[in-house]
Structure 1
């Protein structure tokens, strides 16, 4: 996949991983469109970047998606890369009745169903391009869940399965499907679960750029690479490695 002269849409692009991807790819000579729910934060992010267009919208809301898609088709007909990075996560104890369904519903909508919807609406535009890509940002927990984020892990497992199917379905088109699978990343988003101990979002962005250069479609960032090997050798060991407090 080419790494320059792309027109790139990044959801959740005003902070964290999305912002770092926007920063790195804009520096590579790409035009980047960042989407975010908070207009003020989005404007602040855009002011720090070059060659960027901010679009306010919530990808979990159908009306916002329709508005964004309309703008993309009319103003950015050369759009050829979609990076689905917007996410939602909650600490969620399944032994308690603290809004478990409500939290899971929001995570599944944002982390999985909204991505399916956006990809479906943009697929006709992407397939017109000579070279195009969809990047779904999932997680290390797509392989084995963490007990403090059980329903978040389930949404990322769904996204992983969908990404595999989408890659097969689009294999005879110009659209390449990448899945970016970070471990814990040090962002504002991850602070409630110890994000300060995670890798930098810059490292995640750099690995995505390398994956574009080499057409590496499943991108195991940082510790995910080692964890994936453990998962292949023993899914049970991987589960307990992710949840050491439950290990016998």
Structure 2
């Protein structure tokens, strides 16, 4: 993805955290950026603070909401050529007790897996009509090295990784490229306490490095900041067991 190419970008799930920071960074590069979210008050607040950001209401857990938002975005922004499937949730779960994890696991899969699948289904035909388009997915370093406390999240991000790899193959002969962002732990509110965790990467540093990687290699299929490579390449390096042990010695709440 050429971030300086005057793209029109839709980022559902961008009212806070990595999504909003990336939206503002792409706007600063001269792109037209539209963000989506569930909370009307939060969207209104962002629109008031950043009047050049477009806003669209969307609940990525609701197929009807996705369909309505996709129709609105395509009508308001017919030049749309980039979709970033940003929305995601993370939950600490105890899988030794079925009554303690099933509802959480279903919510995580609905948001993190079905949400991106439904978003891509809603936009892929439109994107294929553009001369140069991108689907950008968001996985995680935990797709490659598991955090014991968050089984459903790990699995959902592993699914997004292989979905991205598969889509890249299927869309290879089209105008649509597939880019996978692979974040490490970043200082956001994804988990309680993570926004102040010394283990997590500062949000501003993370987004700045992502933008620089996209700028330096517009054809990258996977965007890996240096911090995530410890997790991403553990198996290939042959130190997977040590990395799993190191990762799981850290409290997931950042304490």
Flag whether TM exceeds 0.5 (same fold): yes
Q: Shift of residue 99 of structure 1?
A: 3.4
> SS at 1:189's partner residue?
coil
Q: Which residue number corresponds to residue 240 of structure 1?
A: 245
Separation of aligned partners in 2, 1:237 and 1:133? 36
User: Which runs of no fewer than 5 residues in structure 2 stay unpaired?
Assistant: 251-255
Residues 1:231 and 2:196 aligned together: no
Q: Shift of residue 24 of structure 1?
A: 0.7
> SS at 2:61's partner residue?
coil
Q: Which residue number corresponds to residue 207 of structure 2?
A: 205
Indicate the RMSD between aligned Cα atoms, in angstroms: 1.8
User: Which runs of no fewer than 5 residues in structure 1 stay unpaired?
Assistant: none
Q: Which residue number corresponds to residue 11 of structure 1?
A: 12
Give the number of equivalent residue pairs.
245
* Cα gap change, 1:193 to 1:207, in 2 (>3 Å): closer
Q: Which residue number corresponds to residue 170 of structure 2?
A: 169
Q: Which residue number corresponds to residue 88 of structure 1?
A: 89
Q: Shift of residue 192 of structure 1?
A: 4.1
Is the contact made by 2:15 and 2:36 (CA closer than 8 Å) also made in structure 1?
Answer: yes
Separation of aligned partners in 2, 1:91 and 1:148? 5
Q: Shift of residue 158 of structure 1?
A: 0.7
Is the contact made by 1:170 and 1:176 (CA closer than 8 Å) also made in structure 2?
Answer: yes
- TM-score of the aligned structures, taking structure 2 as reference length: 0.89
- TM-score of the aligned structures, taking structure 1 as reference length: 0.92
Separation of aligned partners in 1, 2:195 and 2:9? 31
Q: Shift of residue 76 of structure 1?
A: 1.3
Correspondence 1:1-248 to 2 at 5 A? 1-4=1-4, 5-192=6-193, 196-197=197-198, 198-213=200-215, 214=217, 215-234=219-238, 235-244=240-249
